[in-house]
Structure 1
């Protein structure tokens, strides 16, 4: 039980992945970003399978800072794309929104989650400490990993749904532009924290 409680508490807290999901919902792309949610879940599943069966043997702690650097750079790129996106209402009578923000894809979700240090915060303690303590071995690793991955995909989906509920009450494109800039700013802050962790590691070293 503590495995799921720990995983849920980390995965459902605010972060770059959930911010992307929220923004997609706000700009009316909830249904079009299902692939993004699946990519997030699949990335979690792959990470849990890899580390669940190999522990820390495959990737040493010395490599993790570089993963943080790559993740910070990718998050910064997404922050720029979100911040500079525009939303327009070509036909007010139909109430249809069109956005220049590219629809989030499966691979967007997979990459941002695979390179997200927050994801590692879930995977490493669970696979190296909690799995052995709960005697989760063999096929059980795959089963539990799949359940956590499904929950991982649900986190940005729920944020996106909340964004869709809020966004449906907004009728001015300028409001969406403001939300895009706010979400882009939040993602930029996440990227800065990742890069700070990278430089702090070498400063201590």
Structure 2
């Protein structure tokens, strides 16, 4: 069972669009309500683990994963454009980005993230059976792993929150926003590429 948690930690806590957005939120937003975004990520992952664990990997066909990747790409590109446009606001405040980090935002982003299924499928199809996790145990493990998934962006948010005082200068803040927008557009492009591979 230890290998399940080690694999999940490696997959969930590595840099990705959700974790990078949370780091950005910590830098630009001191309001702890951003944690709703992290909760949305955790709930989405719990749902993916439960659904795939009980119904099997057959429901997540390459076509469905490709469609989800395209949806995720569009949503990430939308966020990137909003962040980029906000970087030109001369009267920007630290609280300004808060509306981009709602529970629904985290939930949708994680649900449409093809990397989420890369983490989920090996665990439920290989590691769960090897550890004899079945029945109610699937639900319990899904909740634990979902909480771990929510903890990943939370840790990035806390790190960003601690670093924010180094970037309160408006010029630096604008640069951070533009850099984040560029990174998100790259991720969006990667999602499109993955979708074309899945949709064949």
Q: Tell me whether 1:117 sits opposite 2:114 in the alignment.
A: yes
Q: TM-score, normalization: structure 2?
A: 0.91
CA displacement at 1:99 relative to structure 2: 2.3
CA displacement at 1:129 relative to structure 2: 1.3
Q: Any unmatched runs of 5+ in structure 2? A: none
Matches within 5 A, 1:125-140: 125-140=122-137
CA displacement at 1:170 relative to structure 2: 2.9
CA displacement at 1:29 relative to structure 2: 3.6
Which has the higher mean CA deviation after the structures are superposed, 111-120 or 173-182?
Answer: 173-182
From the two aligned structures, give the one with the greater strand fraction: 1
Aligned match of 1:7: 8
Q: 1:30 to 1:163 in 2, by over 3 A?
A: farther
Q: Is the 8 A contact 2:29 2:98 kept in 1?
A: no
Runs of 4+ in structure 1 off by over 6 angstroms are 87-90
Q: Is the 8 A contact 2:31 2:95 kept in 1?
A: no
Q: Any unmatched runs of 5+ in structure 1? A: 91-95
From the two aligned structures, give the one with the greater helix fraction: 2
Aligned match of 2:187: 190
- Post-superposition Cα deviations, 1:62-109, rounded to whole Å, max 9, x if no partner, equal 32211111111111111112222247678xxxxx84425634100000
SS at match of 1:111: helix
Q: Tell me whether 1:150 sits opposite 2:147 in the alignment.
A: yes
Q: Is the 8 A contact 1:38 1:109 kept in 2?
A: yes
Q: 1:183 to 1:107 in 2, by over 3 A?
A: same
CA displacement at 1:184 relative to structure 2: 1.2
User: How much is the aligned-residue C-alpha RMSD, in angstroms?
Assistant: 1.9
Q: Find the aligned partners of 2:33 and 2:163 in 1 and give their Cα distance.
A: 17
Q: 1:139 to 1:81 in 2, by over 3 A?
A: same
SS at match of 2:57: coil
SS at match of 1:137: coil
Q: TM-score, normalization: structure 1?
A: 0.89
Q: Find the aligned partners of 2:125 and 2:118 in 1 and give their Cα distance.
A: 11
SS at match of 1:102: helix
